[in-house]
Amino acid sequence: MNVLTIDVDYAFSPSISAYDDFVIGSRISYENQKKILIDKGCETTKINKSKFNNISKVFKKVSYNTKIITVTHHHEILKHIPHDKDIFLQNIDHHHDIFYPGWHNLEILDEGNWVHHLAKTSRLKKYMWFRNKDSESFCNCIDLNFDFCQKFDLKVEDIVRPDIIILCSSPHWTFDSGDALVKKLLEGLDVD
């Protein structure tokens, strides 16, 4: 089964790099996360319109007649992926979401390690990560039981036709913009 996940935080590069290290994620409330970022002087985000419009272009090309699901936090997708089929995962995301040592516990599921948990509970065969140049690289600190590759350029022709698409708003990274951006994707709109 071909699964495409799109986390709209991808479209916040390079501005996301200014505050990414201060994000704790869904382990705390959105309100507490926002307070931390305001205290650090990172209360605003800036969407990269070109990156978002590229996501939109890809989404428009591959979403025809495909099941689409929306989630708030990326790890919520695990309940939507079948565990009895071979999985080819494509992820458009600022983060690889395998594991970030020092940021969280590998064994406690969250948005930063859901790919590791997917590999433990399903037949994940291949994972292709469409990343930004300023994304944090995978540390190679854990063994992977799946084929992992990454691409720096998001091109329609590199996306294998998905059987399911899961859109993620990631509010702890996208603030008040994530839900609106997911809605724009669903409506087929670009940003001006």
Share of the chain above pLDDT 70, in %: 100
Q: Is the pLDDT of residue 122 over 90?
A: no
Q: Is the peptide bond before 101 cis (omega within 30 degrees of 0)?
A: no
Q: What is the pLDDT of residue 27?
A: 93
Predicted model pTM: 0.95
Q: What is the pLDDT of residue 5?
A: 98
SS3 26: coil
Q: What is the pLDDT of residue 192?
A: 76
| Integer Cα distance of 128 and 131 in angstroms | 9
Residue of 43 and 160 predicted with greater confidence: 160
CA nearest to 175, candidates 42, 70, 61: 42
Give the type of residue at 27. R
Q: What is the pLDDT of residue 146?
A: 95
Q: What is the pLDDT of residue 176?
A: 83
pLDDT digits (tens, 9 = 90+) for 33-78: 999 999 998 877 899 999 999 999 999 999 989 999 999 999 999 9
pLDDT digits (tens, 9 = 90+) for 162-188: 999 999 999 999 988 999 999 999 998
The chain-wide mean pLDDT, for the chain, equals: 94
Alpha-carbon distance values, 98 to 127, 133, 145, 175 (Å): 10, 17, 12, 23
Q: What is the pLDDT of residue 182?
A: 97
